[in-house]
A and B are shown apart, each in its own frame.
Chain A
Amino acid sequence: EAGVAQSPRYKIIEKRQSVAFWCNPISGHATLYWYQQILGQGPKLLIQFQNNGVVDDSQLPKDRFSAERLKGVDSTLKIQPAKLEDSAVYLCASSEGQTFYNEQFFGPGTRLTVL
């Protein structure tokens, strides 16, 4: 079974530029998550999708971050414009459902450096 795929693995940009990350969840997983992991911290949920609908985006900085999940499969996370504090690893995860015992499977992450 293929795991969660993410691209690119690394990205370096200058502040005020735009960047987009892509995620392909495990086939059949209805729930998709984007996390931000700043160096030295645990991951923090940015947004959660159930199929192609948003169920939690309370911690997404909506003035600069946006995300979509077209057709309930792939997802993209965009930052426009980027700030220095956005330097982090962006992790995508998926699970079969939303209940608290559903295991989340994580992708390898995208390491973003904003200069």
Chain B
Amino acid sequence: AQKITQTQPGMFVQEKEAVTLDCTYDTSDPSYGLFWYKQPSSGEMIFLIYQGSYDQQNATEGRYSLNFQKARKSANLVISASQLGDSAMYFCAMRGPNTGFQKLVFGTGTRLLVSP
């Protein structure tokens, strides 16, 4: 079965610094997608970045990049130049052919706090 592990319950970073949020996954599927979502205190899940298992390059979206290490089964999110508005919960998720009609499986999340 597919599983996502986020081992950091909370992370602190100063404004303008970079931060890495860890995510490891477990799957036997050769084809899968990895996602990161941000959940502010208001509750909605905001899509940040996607990495496909066959993508040759690491995904980037503005200040977000995904450090994809397939052999290690890790998909860490890197946020560069942190901003106060980045304070939120961050969830790593995966989706694959064998997760039951491609349902998203989420980790337990990491709470990021950005200080001035």
Interface residues of A (CB under 8 A from B): 33, 40-45, 48, 55-56, 58, 89, 91, 93, 98-109, 111
User: Given the complex of chains A and B, what is the CA–CA distance between A45 and B93 in angstroms?
Assistant: 12
Q: Which residue of A lies closest to B93 (CB)?
A: A42
Overall SS of chain A's interface:
loop
Q: Is the interface of B mostly helix, strand, loop or mixed?
A: loop
In the bound assembly, the distance between CA atoms of A107 and B50 in angstroms comes to: 19
Contacts of B43 in A (CB 8 A): 89, 91, 108-109, 111
Q: Does B91 contact A (CB under 8 A)?
A: yes
A42-B108, A100-B96, A104-B104 known; 9 other A-B pairs, CB under 8 Å?
A33-B103, A41-B108, A42-B93, A56-B100, A103-B35, A104-B47, A106-B46, A108-B44, A109-B44
Instruction: Please give, as numbers and ranges, the residues of chain A lying within 8 Å of B93 by CB-CB distance.
Output: 42
Q: Which residue of B lies closest to A93 (CB)?
A: B45
Contact status of A56 and B106, CB under 8 A, knowing A100-B31, A100-B96, A101-B52: no
**If A42-B109, A43-B106 touch, does A48 touch B101 (CB 8 Å cutoff)?**
yes
